[in-house]
Amino acid sequence: MILVPKPKIMPKPISTDFRRRVVDAYLAGEGGYKKLASRFSLSWNSVRRWVYLERTTNNVAPRPKKPFVSPKISKSQYPDLAQLVQEKPDRTMRELVSEWHHKYGVKMRTFRR
């Protein structure tokens, strides 16, 4: 049986107004990353990222989401893949990809996702 991971669902980005308040506090010298993170109940890394965004783009708005890319191996092909693995379970990834590529034309990077 092959387990296919579910796509990760990310939480909604924090509002631009809130990001702006945090970055403005940092730029005004009200504290460092960790102090402001504690004050605003954030991770210090979020503060660092937002300050970096401000410095490099003059904007703290969240970056646009990347579009979801559907898997190259369709659900109808899962049984074939499972069969390949069951026929010879000690096959290396390279051997498995080679056989799959020969059968379906799918490249190596698809198996690494």
Task: Supply the DSSP string of 63-93, one letter for each residue.
Answer: PPPPPP---SS-GGGHHHHHHHHHH-TT--H
Residue 10 lies in a domain: no
Residue 93 lies in a domain: yes
Averaging pLDDT over each range in 12-16, 47-51, 73-77, 93-97, which range is the top one?
Answer: 47-51
Residue 44 lies in a domain: yes
Co-location of 20 and 49 in the same domain: yes
Pick from 61, 65, 48: nearest CA to 19: 61
**Confidence (pLDDT) at 97:** 81
Q: Which amino acid is at 50?
A: W
- Is the pLDDT confidence value at 1 over 70? no
Pick from 8, 92, 100, 13: nearest CA to 50: 13
Co-location of 53 and 20 in the same domain: yes
57-74, pLDDT tens digit by residue? 999 998 887 777 666 777
Co-location of 20 and 53 in the same domain: yes
**What string of DSSP letters covers 13-64?**
PPPHHHHHHHHHHHHTTS--HHHHHHHHT--HHHHHHHHHHHHHHS--SPPP
Mean pLDDT to the nearest integer, 24-53: 95
Residue 100 lies in a domain: yes
The whole domain housing 30 covers 16-57
Co-location of 21 and 53 in the same domain: yes
Mean pLDDT to the nearest integer, 19-36: 96
> For residue 21, what pLDDT band results from cuts at 50, 70 and 90?
very high
Residue 98 lies in a domain: yes
Domains: count for the chain: 2
**Confidence (pLDDT) at 107:** 66
